[in-house]
Structure 1
Amino acid sequence: MPSSSSTFVAGLTAAALATVGFLAFQASANMPADLAEPRRGAPAKAAKAPGNIASTALPDDSGVGERVVYALMADRVWLVAADGRVKRTFKVAPGSVDPLPGSYSVGSRSGAITGTDGTPIEHVVRFAEVDEVVIGFSTALDGSLPEPDPRVQTGGIRETVADGDAMWAFATIGRRVDVVR
């Protein structure tokens, strides 16, 4: 026959587990829609793509002034002059972790390093961090634009060599980076 103290502990444990389960359910039921969407690479993401994401037109909700604009759904970047003119636009190959939409600024740069995937890269322009994964633009020295490996948490947004050169010249420390869906 169990002792009264072990019965009491078992009862407390059961009550605690029930409370945690209830709170987890409540949190998931009240989660904002943008947080509940699947991460990059999940099949459902393509079905939610708005309009023509292949467009090279600067998104309407991309801020004002001199900035880098990064559109997550289009995997496209715009380098925008102070007067609002697009200096350059190009496609990119994102990593497996996306930054959240919002306004950031370039916090650090590196001329040449090894990427988290082991590839030698150059012209690294870092602007965000998500769950301890650093997000930034870079160019692979071998010119590769790989598909993200969903098993590895990477924040490198790869560009061609020519586009990486343009980003490096434009996105200096403090330059604003506006991320839009």
Structure 2
Amino acid sequence: MGGSIVGTGLAVSIGVAAAPVEMLSEVTAAEERGRERRDLSAATAVDGERSQVAPQARAVLEPGRVLAPKVPAGSGEGRRVVFSQSDQRVWLVRADGTAQRTYLVSGSVYDNLDPGSYRVFSRSEQAWGIDDSGTMRWFVRFAQGPNAAIGFHDIPLDDGKRVQTPAQLGTPLSHGCVRQRTTDALALWEFAPLGTSVVVVA
């Protein structure tokens, strides 16, 4: 991560079996409020979280299903992680170019990451922010910032409390890294071993 606290974003799982369209599951407002309460009361929980879809991503195809945003054009080829700074969104992309998963994140409020191609060079299941600014899990580092490494991780905890809510994902709020919902942080951790390509687009 880097700066004081660095982090990631909100989860949206996609199912792209053999269908030509990537799909996302949609949740009701009541389910989202219930999930938010669970997230705040049990920040370490990983299982049971449902996906949330941002209003701008809602393109209803059939009841309970929405169209997932496509992998950005010009974001490289092959198996990779793609982070769009303007969309505040991450894609986990398979070798054939289809998205395995996409979700909203919270990147940095500072202009500390240039668009381009990177590779995962370090990973930590547990990490601490600079100046005791918080703790984070499943930290996957891919770039060097002015003060510390930049990477993906879950929403940091400071004095036992999350520094932002999952509902705020999709907005730049970190001090350097890319914050993700717990389930998404774990998914990226499993998807991106050392050497994995990471492409940042503007």
Greater mean alpha carbon deviation, residues 159-168 or residues 133-142: 133-142
Aligned-pair distance for 1:58?
A: 0.9
TM-score (norm 2): 0.56
Which residue pairs with 2:87 in the alignment? 74
Query: Which of these two proteins has the greater Rg computed from alpha carbons?
Result: 1
What's the secondary structure of 1:169's corresponding residue?
A: helix
Q: Name the structure, 1 or 2, with higher relative contact order (CA <8 Å, separation 6+).
A: 2
1:162 to 183, 190, 193: 183
Q: Is the 8 A contact 1:137 1:156 kept in 2?
A: yes
Identity %: 38
Distance 1:114 1:133 in 2: 11
Q: Structure 2 matches for 1:21-170, cutoff 5 A?
A: 56-97=69-110, 98-116=112-130, 118-140=133-155, 144-145=164-165, 148=173, 154-170=175-191
Deviations 1:43-85 (A, max 9, x none): xxxxxxxxxx857211111111000001010010000001111
Q: Is the 8 A contact 1:95 1:148 kept in 2?
A: yes
Count of residues in correspondence between the two structures:
125
User: Aligned Cα RMSD in Å?
Assistant: 2.2
Distance 1:121 1:157 in 2: 11
Gaps of 5+ in 1: 1-52
What's the secondary structure of 1:162's corresponding residue?
A: helix
Amino acid at match of 1:85: T
What's the secondary structure of 2:199's corresponding residue?
A: strand
Which residue pairs with 2:200 in the alignment? 179
Gaps of 5+ in 2: 1-55, 58-67
Distance 1:161 1:122 in 2: 9
TM-score (norm 1): 0.62
Aligned-pair distance for 1:148?
A: 2.7
Greater mean alpha carbon deviation, residues 115-124 or residues 78-87: 115-124
Which residue pairs with 1:15 in the alignment? none
